[in-house]
Amino acid sequence: MSCKRVYGMATRDAYGKTLVELGKENPDIVVLDADLSKSTKSILFAKEFKERFFNMGIAEANMVSTAAGLATCGKIPFASSFASFLMCKGFDQLRMSVANPHINAKFIGSHGGISIGEDGASQMGVEDIALACSLPGFVVMIPADEIATRALVRLAAEHIGPVYIRTGRPKAPIIYQPGIQFEIGKANILREGIDVTVIANGLLVQEAIEAACLCSERGIDVRVIDMHTVKPIDVSAIVQSAQTTGAIVTAEEHLLSGGLGAAVAQVAGEHCPVPMGFIGLKDTYAESGLPEELFKKYGLTAEHIVVEIERVIKKK
Residue 89 in contact with ligand TPP, rule: CB under 6 A = yes
Residue-level length of the chain: 316
> Cα separations (Å) of 99 from 105, 106, 185, 213, 299?
9, 11, 18, 41, 34
Decide whether 110 or 301 has the Cβ nearer to ligand TPP: 110
Please state the closest distance from residue 122 (CB atom) to ligand TPP, in A: 7
- Site residues for other proteins, 115-134, by CB under 8 A, read 117-123
60 is catalytic: yes
> Which position among 3, 8, 28, 55 is part of the footprint of other proteins (CB under 8 A)?
55
Residue 61 in contact with other proteins, rule: CB under 8 A = yes
Whether the link from the prior residue into 232 is cis, omega within 30° of 0, is: yes
Helix H or strand E segment including 164: strand 163-166
Looking at the DSSP assignment, which residues form a beta bridge with residue 173? 7
Alpha-carbon gap, residue 175 to 15, rounded angstroms: 16
Please state the closest distance from residue 34 (CB atom) to ligand TPP, in A: 6
Residue 35 in contact with ligand TPP, rule: CB under 6 A = yes
Task: Find all residues with CB under 8 Å of 20, minimum gap 6, and list them.
Answer: 44, 45, 48
Please state the closest distance from residue 41 (CB atom) to other proteins, in A: 12
Please state the closest distance from residue 58 (CB atom) to other proteins, in A: 4
Alpha-carbon gap, residue 266 to 272, rounded angstroms: 10
> Cα separations (Å) of 78 from 32, 102, 232?
6, 15, 20
Residue 33 in contact with other proteins, rule: CB under 8 A = yes
Helix H or strand E segment including 67: helix 60-72
Residue 199 in contact with ligand TPP, rule: CB under 6 A = no
Residue 36 in contact with ligand TPP, rule: CB under 6 A = yes
Residue 316 in contact with other proteins, rule: CB under 8 A = no
Please identify every residue annotated as catalytic.
Answer: 60
Binding site for other proteins (CB under 8 A): 33, 35-39, 43, 55-59, 61-62, 84-85, 88-89, 117-123, 287-290, 293-294, 297
The residues binding ligand TPP (CB under 6 A) are: 35-36, 58, 85, 89
